Structure 1
């Protein structure tokens, strides 16, 4: 499929599920980005997640995000219970403006539904020449290190660094051992998962993806990933007046919808610290990147950019079974 065909399919599925046009357009772009960049777990597969959430009635399909300025360098957007993508789009211009005016600014998205990747958001800020960080909790699916009962969400962290004339340095990873979508893709394919990805409902290690989805996932890196997951809970939950992952899944009441909560995005203008010497110091960063790649190591994001170049030239391949499921959604046969 071409990327335009993927975009059209995503919009048709979302509109058919009842999502308003502006929300459908914003959500579709995130899914196109996932498919374009070779990240199947965050591509059009997530249409199944989005439509399931819409069907539960746990997301507002026509919410109008409200932008506020609680302080000079702060932006808050109340998403009204809609998907996070449109709330970010509405808050982004003011976040960029404030970061360039004050050197650093923060955007809090409140009362938004999350189900996709964060890297499109931080990359949108690197495109404006800003350094960016993004954090969000989810549902309590992940056990802390040393435990087997869910407390944390997958709690991703994304970071972006602008590289003038080159692809930005961007990473986006869950603090869980793997993204939840990867486990779901294994379940759909009938494939086992590694035994260090999670526990069954009795707290035993398992390679059955369905048992992990019903039990608890693990953090990556033991206590280090667990500490980062706790940090995300705090700064994108209580700090901005929004839900923790445990509160989100409790409010879901078993409906199986995507998480409803908050997201914190930080934007820093290098020129705010460096003034006229910004180019000089960004070139020092390039020396570090060269030292990494010069010894054959890979920069995070390199595979996504390689996949992006292929996708832009050749299109993408969507598994036949998934495509059939998505087409059924457009005809009402799902």
Structure 2
């Protein structure tokens, strides 16, 4: 069945409300999941609805949580997600950070006691819309070993950035520090498909192409077969989103891919910069466009976020296809 974006958001929100989420939490989460699906990011889109609903029902997430600012000093803001789904807390943190950056030029907002935050760069759309530069970081339940290690310690720990432009879509950059996002392995496991070599290790620390074995084992950091750089970057993100804001480390959180377990209590962190506080907004915009023009001189170069934006616009115009079985599952 093909649904409009609005209809699909209503379906997802309804499923989350029936699972125990407040209306506000359900609506914020539905917007994020449908946006991910619209951009072709199925591993962070509709495939997460049942997972989130189960976590709400089992108490791994508190559907009645009300995120709040618990610390503030200068351009630094800390939000407690209160063990709820992450999206309302991240939205609060970013609105606070944008306001703080207007006053101070730069702001750092942390979200502690949180849950899975979806596509990190999508949170930064608020920042780009405000004409500011945003960076985002998050940890997740342990999925990757430290450099030279075998057992999972770090999450896949995404890094994202958004750079607004004068006229065109913002540059939207988003990558996990694992060789691929763990959600892709989850999708492969559900389909019974193998994964490429170099993506993961099994629970014994051996390379595997079996998606189910990979979910029981660990993901490999980017470039792990030739360099420890990916693992070092994962360590940086892990510390940014835990030590500074008091969130749990990845190894302290139960996997998102199991129904039972603890409340993950992980963290997200966002940096917001007002270009007007530095070289000035006009100089910033001119510099971005100069770089974009140079990049596009080479045939085949695609600006980061361009494909996602094209798919999003197509979905907004044509709707999104959803299986009848999935809709029936959500409606029960």
Task: Return the TM-score normalized by structure 1.
Answer: 0.92
Q: In the TM superposition, what whole-angstrom CA distance separates every residue of 1:200-258 from its partner, at most 9, and x where no partner exists?
A: 111111111100001111111221211110001111011112211112239x9982567
CA contact (8 A) 2:199 2:220 kept: yes
- Aligned match of 1:86: 88
Alignment of 1:317 onto 2:301:
no
Distance in 2, matches of 1:233 and 1:74, equals 18
Distance in 2, matches of 1:64 and 1:233, equals 25
- Aligned match of 1:142: 144
Alignment partner of 1:300 out of 284, 304, 307: 304
CA contact (8 A) 1:144 1:218 kept: no
Distance in 2, matches of 1:257 and 1:218, equals 24
Distance in 1, matches of 2:242 and 2:71, equals 19
Alignment partner of 1:235 out of 236, 240, 244: 240
Distance in 2, matches of 1:298 and 1:83, equals 33
Q: How does 1:99-118 map to 2 (within 5 A)?
A: 99-118=101-120
CA contact (8 A) 1:187 1:209 kept: yes
Q: How does 1:1-334 map to 2 (within 5 A)?
A: 1-222=3-224, 223-249=228-254, 255-256=260-261, 259-275=264-280, 278-296=281-299, 297-318=301-322, 320=323, 323-331=324-332
Choose 144-153 or 295-304, whichever is displaced more.
144-153
**C-alpha distance 113-330 of structure 1, shift in aligned 2 (>3 A):** same
Distance in 2, matches of 1:265 and 1:92, equals 7
Give runs of ≥4 in structure 1 deviating > 4 Å. Answer: none
Give the number of aligned pairs. Answer: 326
Superposition CA RMSD, Å: 2.0
**C-alpha distance 256-115 of structure 1, shift in aligned 2 (>3 A):** farther
CA contact (8 A) 1:138 1:260 kept: no
**C-alpha distance 258-52 of structure 1, shift in aligned 2 (>3 A):** farther
CA contact (8 A) 2:253 2:263 kept: no
Gaps of 5+ in 2: none
CA contact (8 A) 1:81 1:113 kept: yes
Gaps of 5+ in 1: none
CA contact (8 A) 1:67 1:77 kept: yes
- Displacement of 1:24 in angstroms is 0.2
Q: Look up the SS of the partner of 1:105 in the other structure.
A: strand
Q: 1 or 2, which has the higher helix percentage?
A: 1
**C-alpha distance 161-294 of structure 1, shift in aligned 2 (>3 A):** same
- Displacement of 1:268 in angstroms is 0.3
CA contact (8 A) 2:152 2:218 kept: yes
- Displacement of 1:144 in angstroms is 2.9
Q: Look up the SS of the partner of 1:263 in the other structure.
A: strand
CA contact (8 A) 2:133 2:275 kept: yes
Task: Return the TM-score normalized by structure 2.
Answer: 0.93
